[in-house]
Structure 1
């Protein structure tokens, strides 16, 4: 067997996703994370792949993220060219030229500029650290805020955004370096220059990834349109396959769920094609949530592969009576279900979680060395099996703020050493399948679940999550009734379908639950009710009284209910 065939296949799959933060119609963005991650993580990840021509990766985009990036790029461009108001309070304040005058708005603005990783984004920059310290003192009694002048606010806004700039831009862009060197006393022209940079970066993200895909360095894949948990739409009782005693909402099933899941798949493909110019081969179903019926839908819509979490495979093998006799490296393979044609890849939870939760505090050389050591051990145990594959799948944006320099040292070292390693082969899922046709073993059945614990407990089973499902189902029944009886134009129907889709997104349910931090639960709970209310408004229906009442609150530790979760 040749040395080339002895190399262990390794896939790095980065999932890029942000919830839909914009309020109904033309209202403001409620949280700024789309554009902030755009100038930091989406830009940096593209740069690392551009700088390492021998590296390979899969990058998955949620369509609602692509649309929001486009919207920000368009809004900033319109502001620069026409002076049109930017519909994000934080970015609009940076653009100026004026700053809010009332105490409440100034207090909110200052609080927003403190939402950053203390160690790696605030304390890294001494001018920002000093501004943040003063801001916190002022917020102890918001009456003091009125004594802070516009120059303080301008400098705080500039430094907040500079801290969020990606490391590759920080090193190579003269505008960023000049603004950092100035340190304080920023002018309206400085603020405009930073908005110009932000607009340029956001406007170029899709094209950069398209070029990487065209060159063969990256495989781009997609998630269903608004990031729904498809198995729960198709068959809500699928939650019981991994958790038989889970407490369910008071409804038999989500009305018309299979048709809605198919709509999300097709709309996701449509948005993907409009951005990148080709049809994707693969799908990371929202949160890796899979079931046999949803894999059938993906197959019918032409997907060649999908991916999910390791625990889903473990549950499925145990259900088939193989739990006590798992083969070596059971997770390091693609599988097919029954006679299906979709190849299913399973996340190596241990290796993925090391990157997501452990290596941030390590020196980059040590972290990469440790990861490669694990991969070499797997290569040893897979010797003689050329179809073995390790799937490292994780959040592509949120981990890096816990690393020095936005993970730049780690990622650069990782790509360089993996690409050069004589026993490891960086590849993509589609390239792997092209070289290993019919290598995927068959599973007799699949236990429905997600990458989080192998269950759907993050999205159903808690009283607040269940209440949200009941509210959503009420809205869907009203939607079905009105659509059937009414007469709508094609544009009106498209708007209604999209608004319903936004309400069906997974992120609302992720955040509901008392174990999550109160402020974040409040943000998502209010916006969820607003989105449902707007759906009723578009339907011409009176919204239920309960949409004016808070139904979910949180009191958990932010560290235990954040944007990332460990798989076990």
Structure 2
């Protein structure tokens, strides 16, 4: 009997990109992800029939895939691709150069010499380019190659393996003809049309369970009642109350109907958008016949008595009270899920697969040693599309190695979510915590002033629609009211609020903001209602430069000499030091910190001091990582010093090339000291700093996530220069 039952849930989702005024799709990501992840993931499972899993397709994604498959959808990127290079107008040439490098440069552009050559010619940072001048220097042949390479580069391994014509075009590399471009675009449409039938076949043969999400991917608890955000964050400022549970029910019912249309059967379960749950949301799901739901371990631990052991709570299904009913649930192992989503892309495929299965084996052994009944049930739920852009070969080698190891191990078995939640034992969780898979709260979608302006605009429009429904004017038709509802349902989707605020960055923030406001405005225009003032001007503030992610929240202003004991010895010992907290440089996915949430740093004249604050507890941090590597770069200096995190308060030396250097202690926090002289760093020298959190040979996280924190080795004048009242 297997010791571990692994339940994968791969989540496939894209927001609605169709502009309500024109029907044009503003962004191409549905079409392009179809040629990679949606096709590749099915292709790989077809070759590994022993792997059982759940794949979650959102209805709004399926709606758009269907439009592309029928040839009814067009997007701006597709229009630019179809137009012959010789016919491109000057502004269209600029648009091609701006947009057709929106793909991972390391894994796609650099391995294709011609693509890399064209990127170097254009320049890396489009913000600082005179695109009109640059575009005038591109020949028709170069633009034609770029049109092909962008669309061809988005194809994953499955489609290229199945289509010798695509493989030949990859090998050709340059000098593409108009016939080559036509072939690539025709292959795109063919692949898009195969997505739903391919997944339906995997479902019908019993290998894959297909699940769904409320229709437009809303944060269901907030649609039920935005005041529920204060359960996790009592002091969170809120917009005027938005409480439309009937809208939430529409999202659930329509999702079930859409799933049945596309896949031939009702979904047994649902992944609520962003794992967002509340007592009201679960009651709604259960009342509509949903038979299981899932979310993150943080929600589980907040729903159980304080001090409940994490392993004993996490690695089993639960029954949760959902109004008068009970709803089976499984909860996500955050660390294992994030390893695939964020860490393994930088690790060799065989090593990553071995690391993952070793964690599963350790969970199984611990579960058995604890005397728990049956196998440990491990939920690994993550984005099924975005990670593969950042893996070499779109993740083919990793998935192949992982599935082979899972198939060959007698101690590991895979299961669907229906299988994993079947027969969930008691006791019943009486009240689920109101939160999501990010921070066990709804802060991402409600925590910033921009979020609240968007919710206010949506609320004004929704109230206006309710008034019109109650007393419709003769000029407002039933069809107009129905379409206005549809626009506002789309505006309730979570994706708009994801990009508001400063947690995440995208080059396309203006487009997302414009789409959200266009749905609100279009709904009001249909019913003759006043337009919300919040929707009449951009809600999204100007984006910070891409490099700003690596800037500290506070730079050092005083010399400090903290005691290296792993404790906050006094309140003042780190006052005057610098602080860095990671932002989210990768926009479309959230990678929660696994071990440490903040880096504090400072110095006296002899030493650099670092402090790492754990995300949850010191014990959890040491479970997550086995080493902390300090990387320091300066003119003539490239140093890496490794420290072992052990939360016992004992001072230990670091190691540089095997020799002792520096010292560290970890009790409540991890404190480190590194001598400038032994590192070869002189006063006045500029130093770039990064910390790498490792488990074995796998990098779990990096502080900062991109770039380096920079500092200057202090001299005797440091405090005089930085003195202030």
TM more than 0.5: yes
1:442 to 2:428 alignment: yes
Residue 248 of structure 2 is matched in structure 1 by: 261
- Could you tell me which residue of structure 2 aligns to residue 26 of structure 1? 22
Name the residue aligned to 1:500: 488
Q: Say which SS state the counterpart of residue 508 (structure 2) adopts.
A: helix
- 1:440 CA drift (Å): 4.9
Q: Is the 8 A contact 2:484 2:522 kept in 1?
A: no
Provide the C-alpha distance between the structure 2 equivalents of 1:242 and 1:429, rounded to a whole number of angstroms. 27
Aligned to 1:323: 306
Structure 2: which 5+ runs fail to align? 550-582, 594-725
The answer to whether 1:464 aligns with 2:450 is: yes
Q: 1: CA distance between counterparts of 2:534 and 2:246?
A: 27
Q: Identify which range, 102-111 or 40-49, moves more after superposition.
A: 102-111
Check whether the contact 1:304–1:341 (CA below 8 A) recurs between aligned residues.
no
Is residue 58 of structure 1 aligned with residue 54 of structure 2? yes
Preserved CA contact (<8 Å) 1:38 1:201:
yes
Alpha-carbon shift at residue 57 of structure 1 (Å) = 1.0
User: 2:310 & 2:455 partners in 1: Cα distance?
Assistant: 39
Q: How many Å apart are 1:41 and its aligned residue?
A: 0.7
**Structural mapping, 1:129-278, within 5 Å:** 129-136=116-123, 140-142=129-131, 143-249=133-239, 251=240, 253-255=241-243, 257-278=244-265
Query: Superposition pairs for residues 104-119 of structure 1, below 5 Å?
Result: 104-119=91-106
- Give the TM-score taking structure 2 as reference length: 0.72
Q: What RMSD in Å do the two structures reach over aligned CA positions? A: 2.0
Residues 411-459 of structure 1 show CA distances to partners (whole Å, capped at 9, x for unaligned) of 11111211221011101011234xx424254113211000011110110
Structure 2 partner of 1:290: 277
Work out the CA distance in 1 between the residues paired with 2:103 and 2:309: 43
Pair 1:518–1:398, CA change in 2 (3 A): closer
User: 1:195 Cα deviation (Å)?
Assistant: 1.2
1:378 aligns with 363
Distance 2:263 2:170 in 1: 34
By percentage of residues, which structure has more strand? 2
Residues 286 and 518 from structure 1, CA distance in 2 versus in 1: closer, same or farther, beyond 3 angstroms? Answer: closer
- Greater displacement, 90-99 / 167-176: 90-99
Give the total of aligned pairs: 546
Q: Does residue 92 in structure 1 map to residue 110 in structure 2?
A: no
Q: How many angstroms does 1:185 deviate by?
A: 2.3
Deviation, 1:370, is 0.6
Q: 2:315 aligns with which of 332, 335, 339?
A: 332
Structure-2 separation of matches of 1:297 and 1:444:
16
Question: Displacement, 1:148?
Answer: 2.1
Quote the residue 2:385 is aligned against.
397
How many Å separate the matches in 2 of 1:7 and 1:100?
A: 63
In 1, Cα distance between equivalents of 2:586 and 2:419: 36
Does 7-16 or 102-111 show the bigger shift?
A: 102-111
Q: Secondary structure at the match of 1:31?
A: coil
Q: Which residue of 1 aligns with 2:353?
A: 368
Q: Secondary structure at 1:564's aligned position in 2?
A: coil
Q: Which moves more between the two structures, 187-196 or 23-32? A: 23-32
1:82 match: none
Q: Does 1:481 align with 2:471?
A: no
CA deviations 1:14-56 (Å, max 9, x no partner) are 0001111121143322221111111011110010111111111
Q: Quick one: distance in 1 between partners of 2:311 and 2:180?
A: 58
- Structure 1 window deviating more from structure 2 (376-385 vs 453-462): it is 376-385
Q: CA deviation at 1:307?
A: 0.4
Given that 1:451 and 1:567 are in contact with CA atoms closer than 8 Å, whether structure 2 keeps it comes out as no
Q: CA deviation at 1:505?
A: 0.5
**Aligned positions of 1:337-356 closer than 5 A:** 337-338=320-321, 340-356=325-341
1:17 alignment counterpart: 13
The 2-side partners of 1:387 and 1:380 are apart by 10
Query: d(CA) in 2 for partners of 1:269 and 1:564?
Result: 26
Once residues 123 and 87 of structure 2 are traced to their aligned partners in structure 1, the CA distance between those partners, rounded to angstroms, is 19
What is the deviation of 1:247?
1.7
Instruction: Supply the distance in 1 between the matched residues of 2:428 and 2:410 (Cα, whole angstroms).
Output: 30
Contact 1:307 1:346 in 2 (8 A): yes
SS state at 2:123 partner:
helix
Query: 2:213·2:272 contact (CA, 8 Å) conserved in 1?
Result: yes
- Give the Å deviation of 1:151: 2.2
Q: Which has the higher contact order (CA 8 A, sep 6+)?
A: 1
- Higher-helix-fraction structure: 1
Query: For the residues of structure 2 that align with 1:541 and 1:260, how far apart are their CA atoms?
Result: 19
Q: Which residue in 2 is equivalent to 1:565?
A: 590
Q: Is the CA contact 2:318–2:328 (under 8 Å) kept in the aligned structure 1?
A: yes
SS at match of 2:313: coil
Q: Deviations over 1:345-389 (max 9, x none)?
A: 110001001111111111111111111111001111222521531
1:138/1:396 CA distance change after superposition, 3 Å: closer
Which of the two has higher C-alpha Rg?
2
| Alignment check: 8 A CA contact 1:234 1:261 kept | yes
* Deviation larger for 285-294 or 240-249: 240-249
SS of 2:507's partner is: helix
CA separation in 2, counterparts of 1:477 and 1:98?
49
Unmatched 5+ stretches in structure 1: 79-85
What secondary structure, in the 3-state scheme, does the structure 1 residue paired with 2:465 have? helix
1:102-136 deviation line (CA, Å, top 9, x unaligned): 32221112111111111001101112111222222
1:307 to 294, 310, 315: 294
Which residue of the other structure, out of 414, 431, 441, is the alignment partner of 2:402?
414
Structure 2 SS opposite 1:329: helix
Question: In structure 2, how many angstroms separate the alpha carbons of the residues matched to 1:44 and 1:138?
Answer: 31
SS of 2:211's partner is strand
The CA distance in 1 between the partners of 2:506 and 2:392, in whole Å, is 28
Q: Distance in 1 between matches of 2:426 and 2:78?
A: 48
Q: Does 1:529 align with 2:517?
A: yes
1:83 is aligned to none
With over 3 angstroms needed to count, the CA separation of the structure-2 counterparts of 1:150 and 1:519, relative to structure 1, is: same
Q: CA deviation at 1:100?
A: 5.3
Pair 1:552-2:511 in alignment: no
Normalising by structure 1, what TM-score?
A: 0.92
Partners of 1:552 and 1:248 in 2: CA distance: 18
- 1:8 paired to 2:33: no
Q: Distance in 1 between matches of 2:149 and 2:384?
A: 24
CA apart distance, 1:489: 5.7
Distance 1:399 1:484, change over 3 A: same
SS of equivalent to 1:469: helix
